[in-house]
Amino acid sequence: MSSPDKLVYMANQIGKFFASQGKDAEVQNIATHMKKFWEPRMLRQIFAHLDAGGAGLAPPVKAALESLRAQETVAAR
């Protein structure tokens, strides 16, 4: 279930759901949804995929993941 392809598909589906909310709200809502509903193992795997180039991720999803990772980095300090 947690293969990169499955995670990319799931992340892009979340992105499609929030696409009608405008660019800024879309990215924030994708990040919020993933933070609330994705378990840490899934987030680690999608971050690793992002680090490897993020093939297949829609641009708003990439932006949301980068924002989420930045939030988590700040929170960890």
DSSP reduced 3-state for 70:
helix
pLDDT digits (tens, 9 = 90+) for 19-75: 998 887 999 999 999 999 999 999 999 999 999 999 999 999 999 999 999 988 767
User: Tell me, what DSSP letter sits at residue 20?
Assistant: G
Q: What angle do CA 54, 57, 59 make, to 5 degrees?
A: 105
Predicted local confidence at residue 73, as pLDDT: 76
pLDDT of residue 2: 53
Write down the pLDDT at residue 1. Answer: 45
**Is 18 a residue whose pLDDT tops 90?**
yes
Do 64 and 32 contact (CB within 8 A), yes or no? Answer: no
At residue 24, the pLDDT reads 78
- What local confidence, expressed as pLDDT, does residue 22 receive? 85
Distance, in Å, from the CA atom of 3 to the CA atom of 28, rounded to the nearest integer, reads: 24
Domain count, the chain: 1
Contact 68, 31 (CB under 8 A): yes
State which residues form the domain around 33.
4-76
- pTM equals 0.89
